[in-house]
Amino acid sequence: MGKAERDRRHQGNLERINHVQLVVGRGDRMRVDHEGTLLERARMLCEEISSHDATELGLAALDRLLRRAEEGQLRQARDIVEFIAAVWSNKPLPLHTLRGLDPEAGDDMLAVLDAFRHARLHLVEHVEGGPQRVQRMLARWKARA
């Protein structure tokens, strides 16, 4: 799924949210709670926009991290590879991996973690090159070790 498809889904979600109505009461006493509806729509809109923004920023950050790992010239490349492997395989990551990085790599890792938290999709499957790119990079690093 590319950016255009993700944007199309996002717009669809926003349209569905705009049609939400909160109904309260039972039987003949049911009514639309207009205030509750507005609050619920605001909550849902905030959640959808946060998710979409975090996903797009996280995918861009993951792509930058992959490029850095593929180049392999940085002293932090091993930490970046460990981070990507953890995101790819849902394995634990030692927190010390986030320390001692240059600011750009650290910020990208945090953006990926934020996307991992908010995204409604698997990040590695939607980054440019997808799982094949990640597998190639991890195999290359495994061969070096």
Helix 34-71 × helix 130-144 angle, to 10°? 40
**Which of 67, 58, 50 minimizes the C-alpha distance to 123?**
58
- 109 band by pLDDT with thresholds 50, 70 and 90: very high
Burial (CB count <10 Å: 0-12, 13-18, 19+), residue 59: buried
Q: Is the pLDDT of residue 58 over 80?
A: yes
Q: Report the range of poorest mean pLDDT among 25-29, 48-52, 104-108.
A: 25-29
* Average pLDDT score over the chain: 88
Q: How far is CA 136 from CA 38, 57, 113, 125, 133, in A?
A: 48, 23, 22, 14, 5
Q: What is the pLDDT of residue 145?
A: 64
> What are residue 24's DSSP bridge partners?
31
- Average the pLDDT over 116-142 and give the result: 88
Q: What is the pLDDT of residue 6?
A: 86
Q: What is the pLDDT of residue 50?
A: 93
Distance CA 92, CA 75 (A): 22
Q: Which element (helix H / strand E) includes 51?
A: helix 34-71
Share of the chain above pLDDT 70, in %: 97
Q: Do 84 and 66 form a contact (C-beta atoms < 8 A)?
A: yes
Indicate the DSSP class of residue 32: E
